[in-house]
């Protein structure tokens, strides 16, 4: 797997810590659904990651896992284009975690912001554990075992992807130079034929000595086109081009999700811990009730008081769901007391229900048929494992573990 092929692959995961809500839909799932058409995607349930913090309540995992997968399917994630799987069913992640831990400097895990933050912020459980310290190394293994070049995540996860890049680089630096790397690379160059070999050398020099990015890309394209070279040689050609050794674990990048923050029922960010969510598969009656009882501009007590949309949580939801015409109607009607809050909420309720309608329909077939969901996940696990096994073999061999 070269850096270039890795760029076509996406991996992302979620911890099964509860039912998904509209914040997850707008912030993450809509993006997954777009990406699944553009990349080779792998999506997984990070159940081991859930255990790093919730190790004392294992009973919550099972139900959350299946409900979360149903939420994904309901939202439109398509298991035909993206395998959906469960981390703990692909034990290769754990072996890579162990192997990567050998080369992970303690200082790297200790300085990860989420580690320090959560240790001090979370008081209702003890996070001073070996497992929690290893959280980012496990996450690096999740990513690197699929040699995924792209990781769609929110801002809070960027330091983890950053550490993954550093670990990959360190790994390649330590293990990417198999003995006689240069000799093997030169031999691989010859296999492309005289003309190509000459071009390769010229472009490599142009990149390494002049920093010419265009030459690097042209040379990469040339390697890509070669039909009759082995995978090992291909990797060597890519690695040698950039001056170093073989790239065993490509460095991923974070694909930042650019969704606006989803407001909850109280105007704060939608989050389970604020108790202000609308679930992805909320019953229509409950959607209705939740929005109907939302607090509005506190200054607007009676129907004929005027209000200010800028301080109203309801208007924040209009910003997500309504077009300009409706928003103008709200601004005008609110500030002149022309409309009441009940009128104002009506189009919002309709918009949320309409958005959820296809999700409810899709979910129905899965809710009544757990075997169908389990079958989809079993298939996803098989596909994921195939890929994971391949990477692990390369890693074992690079680390001197493939002797017989
Ligand atoms: N740590 C991520 C979160 O809390 C979940 C996760 C685990 C993940 N492994 C991953 C995300 C690999 C992306 C890639 O949201
Ligand atoms: Fe809020 Fe709409 Fe009522 Fe104005 S009319 S206070 S924007 S709910």
CA of 11 to the centre of ligand 1 (A): 9
User: What are the boundaries of each domain within the chain?
Assistant: 3-176+252-261+370-398, 181-241, 281-366
- Model confidence, pTM: 0.87
| Contacts with 225 (C-beta within 8 Å, 6 or more apart), sequence order | none
Q: Which of 144, 180, 174 is nearest to 161 (CA)?
A: 144
> Which pLDDT belongs to residue 258?
81
How confident is the model at residue 226, as a pLDDT?
Answer: 93
Q: Which ligand is nearest to the CA of 114?
A: 1
- Residue 179: its pLDDT value, please? 65
C-beta of residue 66 within 8 angstroms of C-beta of residue 21: no
Q: The domain 3-176+252-261+370-398 belongs to what CATH superfamily? A: HUPs (3.40.50.620)
Atom 4 of ligand 2, residue of closest alpha carbon? 334
The rounded distance, in Å, linking the Cα atoms of 275 and 186 is: 62
User: What pLDDT, in 10s, does the model give residues 105-121?
Assistant: 999 999 888 777 777 78
Q: At what angle do helices 59-75 and 341-367 cross, to 10 degrees?
A: 110
**Weakly modelled stretches of the chain, pLDDT under 50:** none
Q: Is the CB of 316 under 6 A from ligand 2?
A: no
Q: Residue 334: CB within 6 Å of ligand 2?
A: yes
Q: For the domain bounded by 281-366, which CATH number is listed?
A: 1.10.240.10
What pLDDT, on the 0 to 100 scale, is given for residue 126? 87
Q: How much is the pLDDT for 178?
A: 66
What pLDDT, on the 0 to 100 scale, is given for residue 162?
95
Whether the Cβ atoms of residue 139 and residue 160 lie closer than 8 Å to each other: yes
Ligand nearest to the CA of 144: 1
pLDDT at 1: 60
């Amino acid at each position: 797997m070269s850096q270039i092929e890795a760029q076509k692959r996406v991996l992302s995961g979620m911890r099964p810590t509860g039912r998904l809500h509209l914040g997850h839909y707008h912030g993450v799932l809509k993006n997954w659904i777009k990406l699944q058409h553009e990349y080779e995607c792998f999506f997984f349930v990070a159940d081991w990651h859930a255990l790093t913090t919730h190790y004392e309540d294992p009973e919550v995992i099972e139900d959350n896992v299946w409900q979360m997968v149903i939420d994904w399917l309901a939202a439109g994630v398509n298991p035909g284009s993206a395998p959906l799987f469960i981390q703990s069913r692909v034990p290769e992640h754990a072996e890579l975690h162990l192997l990567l831990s050998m080369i992970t400097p303690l200082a790297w895990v200790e300085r990860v912001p989420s580690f320090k933050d959560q240790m001090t912020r979370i008081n209702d459980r003890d996070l001073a554990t070996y497992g929690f310290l290893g959280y980012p190394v496990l996450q690096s293994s999740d990513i690197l075992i699929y040699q995924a070049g792209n990781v769609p995540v929110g801002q809070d996860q960027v330091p983890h992807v950053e550490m993954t890049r550093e670990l990959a680089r360190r790994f390649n630096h330590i293990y990417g130079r198999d003995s006689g790397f240069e000799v093997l690379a030169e031999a691989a160059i010859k296999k492309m034929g005289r003309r190509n070999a000459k071009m390769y050398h010229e472009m490599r020099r142009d990149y390494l000595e002049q920093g010419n990015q265009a030459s690097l890309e042209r040379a990469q394209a040339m390697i890509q086109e070669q039909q009759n070279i082995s995978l090992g040689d291909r990797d060597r050609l890519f690695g040698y081009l950039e001056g170093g050794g073989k790239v065993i674990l490509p460095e991923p990048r974070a694909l930042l999700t650019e969704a606006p923050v989803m407001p909850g029922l109280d105007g704060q960010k939608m989050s389970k811990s604020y108790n202000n969510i609308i679930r992805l598969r909320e019953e229509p009656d409950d959607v209705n009730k939740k929005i109907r009882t939302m607090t509005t501009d506190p200054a607007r007590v009676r129907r004929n008081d005027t209000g200010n949309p800028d301080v109203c949580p309801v208007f924040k939801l209009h910003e997500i769901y309504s077009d300009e015409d409706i928003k103008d109607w709200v601004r005008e009607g609110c500030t002149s007391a022309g409309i009441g809050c009940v009128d104002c909420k009506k189009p919002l309720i309709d918009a949320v229900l309409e958005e959820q309608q296809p999700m409810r329909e899709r979910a129905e077939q899965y809710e009544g048929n757990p075997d169908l969901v389990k079958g989809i996940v079993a298939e996803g696990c098989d596909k994921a494992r195939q890929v994971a096994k391949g990477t692990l073999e390369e890693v074992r061999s690079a680390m001197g573990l493939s002797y017989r």
